[in-house]
Amino acid sequence: MSPTTPPTHKNRIHPNVPAIDQSDRIVPCNLRQSGPTPVQMLISTRVRKSPFWHLSIEAGAWRATVYNRMYHPRGYVRPEDGGAMAEYDALVNRVTLWNVAVERQIQVKGPDAEAFVNFVITRDATKIQPMRGKYCILCNEKGGILNDPVLLRLAEDEFWFSISDSDLLLWLQGVNLGRRWDVDIAEIDVSPLQVQGPLSEELMTELFGSGVGQLPYYGLMETELAGCPVVVSQTGFTGEKGYEIYVRNATEAAEAVWYAIRGAGASYGLRVIAPAHHRRIAAGILSWGQDMDAETSPFQVNLAYQVPRKKTAEYIGKPELERQRAEIDAGRYPFALKLVGMKLGGHAITDYASDFWLIQNSAGERVGYVTSPWWSPELETNIALGYVPWDLTELGTELKVEVPEAYSEVSGQPVEAVVTEVPFRPSKNPSARERAKAEGRDWAY
């Protein structure tokens, strides 16, 4: 076949894998094992640059992705210098600074702000006090997860959605198209940074005073840095001790805040790094678009606690989610697959996976796929999140994973895997769900 001859059907490679049951999805997850995509990203005006973009480049960012239609730095340390695992070392042993401006801030403000927010999230917004936040999800009428933001309540009549990778602004404005609620919904000029790691409290105390050490988990405080107004929260994407700094008027204030953090952070060994997906996997923190999407139910991804039984108010998706819960309570599972944690063999996975790797059962049949894999230095094994049939979700279930050749112990052979409890290791900054579990309290619903 000449180089210009289009491939025939028989010559096409890497088809989507039909053996994995995705019958409850309209658009199946892309399971084509096509490997890396070695192309240069085009930087153009169609995709937004955050106020910190040039500062990330100055700090050594050498690769990026697109998140919320913004350029998102995803690597500062070059592979030859240790790559992502060197960044991991800085996170778990010192303190790190992240450019997370891609977490766009959607403000809902007005007399009906609480009622509107309570209608669009599954959790009870009335229980969120001013100057506090919560991790939450928003679902569509079919119970699919549209976004999983951190929700900040700045005042009785003001909420900020710090969003994950889907266009929540348009959804929220669409929900209120008939102006049923007296609120204004808009993206605001606020861009967050994260300061994460065991030395983060010491650094933040130097920057903002002793009050920051008194912040409860998901607590907020209004303050200033380098003369610029910011909101500080004790939150993060790691399971480590950490904070987020929401820079107001970020278009103008980005440089002043960034350099103030880096200047003070130098004595703590601060390193600018990319969002630590290796650490969030160990903590069991999910990534929207990777571990879940608009066709995924919270009951499939260990987010049942986000669907409280005691919330009496109506919200989008409630009838379907209650139907799903009733099915599960009766011992009937309404989904083909469920997300589990796994430990797996093979050589150390030290960078992002470019495909959803396939999972086999003990008989060698392809039954599921990996969404988020990485190497855990503390556990000295690869760990991963992935989807398998419900009857393969019990802890200790043995599986196999078709890893790329670079990670395989035997060429062409899958590696052994076992279903494992999540989180994979305790968090330094445990969530309410982790604390409840440690205390023996039921946090499932």
Q: pLDDT tens per residue, the chain (445 residues)?
A: 444 555 555 555 556 788 899 999 999 999 988 888 888 889 999 999 999 999 999 999 999 999 999 999 999 999 999 999 999 999 999 999 999 999 999 999 999 999 999 999 999 999 999 999 999 999 999 999 999 999 999 999 999 999 999 999 999 999 999 999 999 999 999 999 999 999 999 999 999 999 999 999 999 999 999 999 999 999 998 989 999 999 999 999 999 999 999 999 999 999 999 999 999 999 999 999 999 999 999 999 999 999 999 999 999 999 999 999 999 999 999 999 999 999 999 999 999 999 999 999 999 999 999 999 999 999 999 999 999 999 999 999 999 999 999 999 999 999 999 999 999 987 666 655 566 566 665 444 3
Which residues, other chains included, contact 125 with Cβ-Cβ below 8 Å and sequence gap of 6+? 114, 117, 118, 151, 153, 159
May I ask the CATH class of domain 107-184? alpha beta
Q: CATH number of the domain at 190-269, out of 3.40.50.300, 3.40.190.150, 3.30.1360.120, 3.30.428.10?
A: 3.30.1360.120
Tell me the C-alpha distance between 95 and 202, whole Å: 10
- pTM greater than 0.85: yes
Q: What is the pLDDT of residue 265?
A: 98
Q: What is the pLDDT of residue 440?
A: 60
Domain locations along the chain: 107-184, 190-269
Tell me whether the CATH fold assigned to 107-184 matches the one assigned to 190-269. no
Do residues 369 and 291 touch, judged by C-beta distance below 8 A? no
Buried b (16+ CB within 10 A) or exposed e, 395-411: eebebbbbbbeebbeee
CA 266 to chain centre: 28
C-alpha to C-alpha distances, 326 to 39, 122, 304, 337, 372, nearest whole angstrom: 47, 17, 12, 18, 29
Tell me the C-alpha distance between 121 and 138, whole Å: 5
- Which stretch of DSSP H or E encloses residue 432? helix 432-438
